[in-house]
Structure 1
Amino acid sequence: MIAVKIVSSILPPAELQELVRQLFPDDEFIFNKGLKGEIYNEFIDAEIFITYGEDLTAEDIEKAKHLKWISVMSAGVEKLPFEAIQARGIVVTNARGVHQIPMAEYTLGLMLRHAKRFDRFLDEQKESNWNRGIRTEELHGATVLILGAGAIGGEIAKRCQLFGMHTIGVNTTGRAAENFNEMYSIESWEEPLRQADYIVSVLPSLESTTHMLQKKHFELMKESAVFINIGRGDLVETDVLIKALQEQDIAHAYLDVLEQEPLPEDHPLWTMENVTITPHISGKSKRYLPRAFDIFSHNLHIYKGVPGEMKNVIQLDRRY
């Protein structure tokens, strides 16, 4: 097999680097945190580039004359310079699938936290109050609407069904999907908003999904509904979300992603009682990079001639 030069702007743990080198002893691996400094000259000569997908420009693509494959170690690829990549015919893959377990666990954790009022009980504990009058709810029998019924959405739905929840999914065509009791297309996704107790978005950032969720949609939701966004922050304009929360169109918003990240210290969302913010960590796990490099290793075997198909190849014209 022909040896290839692989540059990574991700610096994985030493043991993971060694494992990859053992799997591909003939290839040259250069790992670095970031793409600045001396590593940039190595990148220009590389055939394969490993990245989180946020550090490349069209100018970089133009300079990297030997580049044939970009392996993005995250699901999001929206920050790549697609026009330059497409002009060169460079293959792009992502790490779709590595997030589904941590993100599903994160989502169920928030649902349980909300239904069982754990925050309220912690407040009572601080005041030494034995308050048995706080009303709690069950997830059993509740309805969850999941916008984006792909790998992550399906994993969330699977866990929701284990809790006895009714699962409704939305995908491009409305085709049936495992672990969902009902399915709707992206054109009819507004219909189930009225019946959902929990609305979870795992949608990517696309032209069709940007600001897709508007004030009128929050008004369709139950006043007791909970909105959880673990997809992309540009699904809803921040001002629209704030207004919906101020007018109590819904009960609570749990936000792991926002239009502006990081959120400024003086932003009003920080102090709203019906908002909970986490810093884009729903997919984080110590097992994240090992899973991502499993996908990369599979794809590198195929790239170097082993029979089979590469996983998670991005359609450059559709950008997902």
Structure 2
Amino acid sequence: MDVLFTFVPKENQQERLQAEFPEVTFRFLYKNKSFLPTADIVVTYGEDLTADDIDRADNLKWIMVASAGIEKMPHAAIADKGIIVSNVKGIHKTPMAESALAHLLALKRSLPFIYECQRNGEWNRKTHSSELAGSTAVLFGPGAIGSEIGRLLQAFGVRTIGCNRSGDKAEYMDEMVSFENSLTALPKADIVIAVLPSTEETHHLLKKEHFQAMKNDAIFMNLGRGDLVEDQVMLEALETGEIGQAVLDVFEEEPLPADHPYWQMDNVIISPHVSSHSGKYVERALDVFIPNLHDWIKGDTSPSNPVDMKRGY
């Protein structure tokens, strides 16, 4: 059996795989797809496979995506060949939840202001700090990541309202609403956090009326995908004061162009799509992949976290 990694794990991680699966041929090649025609399994971040690649992958039966997002993959080509796709849904929850809390605490406790005063050698106690406790947060996408954010927010005394397609109950949410009824929840929110994937349903889901419904001092945070909000809608909401602050980890165009207005705006924090980054990322991905590979070798071709290429998640 041939397994092709289109990224290169650390040496100790490669050794772990080779020791656990001596009968498997592993190839660890950064974006080098020369062995695709013989690969039975491909492990990828999901951004480097094209329809042509899939066409020449004669033996390929399973693509393991070491990411949650699959929007850049050649969906039709993969579906046409009946290739199984799975991802590592859930492994991002710890770093992304910590990122969300870090940004919120920094803003509430005036850390950017304090750091700037230090750089300027200025003793200024007019921080205008506030607290998370007693506030309300609306979370678009209360799945594995959103629920972990909710758990941490609740520990800080924040009321959490989850928003998903159905409005069905989710962990660590005090209340739930559907996408359709989200406008009823947004006026209550001091904080709005989005961790939604990129799908047809979520494309430009948040529109001008959603930002108009938010408090004018609300903090909006997007850690999911940039196409949740049309860029011009986001820009106008910030320029007109419909919301108070935005923390943006994702954008419609990435990298964010150097001349984009966000760079010069005091009420925007630009995070270059790094909220999920962690030194433990690949280790956690392998913790998902290894049990699935054991099962695959035994004949179980139903890996955990299967992805429906038609739905996009």
TM-score band, normalised by the shorter chain? over 0.9
- Residue 310 (structure 1) shift: 2.1
Q: Which residue of 2 aligns with 1:76?
A: 69
Query: Which of residues 154, 178, 186 is equivalent to 2:179?
Result: 186
Could you tell me how far apart the structure 2 residues matched to 1:238 and 1:157 are?
A: 26
Instruction: Specify which of 266, 270, 284 is matched with residue 273 of structure 1.
Output: 266
Q: Distance in 2 between matches of 1:167 and 1:306?
A: 43
The Cα shift of 1:131 comes to 2.6
Tell me the SS of whatever aligns to 1:7.
strand
Paired AA for residue 190 in structure 1: L
Displacement of 1:126 after TM fit? Answer: 3.0
- Distance (Å, rounded) in 2 between the aligned partners of 1:142 and 1:20: 46
Give the alignment's Cα RMSD to 1 decimal: 1.3
**Post-superposition offset of 1:191:** 1.4
Structure 2 gap ranges (5+): none
* Structure 1 position 139 matched with structure 2 position 139: no
Partner residue, 1:12: 9
User: How far 1:317 moved relative to its partner?
Assistant: 2.5
Of 207, 210, 223, 1:214 maps to 207
Equivalent residue for 2:45? 52
Contact 2:142 2:171 in 1 (8 A): no
Counterpart of 1:91?
A: 84
CA contact (8 A) 2:211 2:242 kept: yes
Instruction: Show the 5 A alignment for 1:122-161.
Output: 122-161=115-154
* 1:306 shift after superposition: 6.6
Aligned length: 313
Q: Which residue of 2 aligns with 1:302?
A: 295
Structure 1: gaps spanning 5 or more residues: none
AA at the equivalent of 1:26:
E
Task: State how far apart, in whole Å, the 1-side matches of 2:203 and 2:20 are.
Answer: 41
The 1:116–1:51 alpha-carbon spacing in structure 2 relative to 1, beyond 3 Å, is: same
Q: Work out the CA distance in 1 between the residues paired with 2:40 and 2:226.
A: 33
Q: 1:313 aligns with which of 290, 293, 306?
A: 306
Structure 1 distance, partners of 2:299, 2:31, is 30
Matches of 1:54 and 1:131, distance apart in 2: 47
Normalised to the residue count of structure 2, the TM-score between the two structures is 0.97
1:58-100 C-alpha deviation (Å, 9 max, x unpaired): 1111111100000000000111111111111100001111100
Alpha-carbon distance between aligned partners in 1 of 2:259 and 2:170, rounded to the nearest angstrom:
42
More displaced, 132-141 or 198-207? 132-141
Residue type of the alignment partner of 1:228: M
Q: 1:259 aligns with which of 238, 241, 252?
A: 252
Displacement of 1:137 in angstroms is 0.8
Distance 1:116 1:132 in 2: 12
On the 8 A contact 2:36/2:56 being kept in 1, the answer is no
The residue type paired with residue 203 of structure 2 is T
Q: Percent identity?
A: 43
**Distance across 2 between alignment mates of 1:211 and 1:307:** 38
SS, match of residue 103 in structure 1: helix
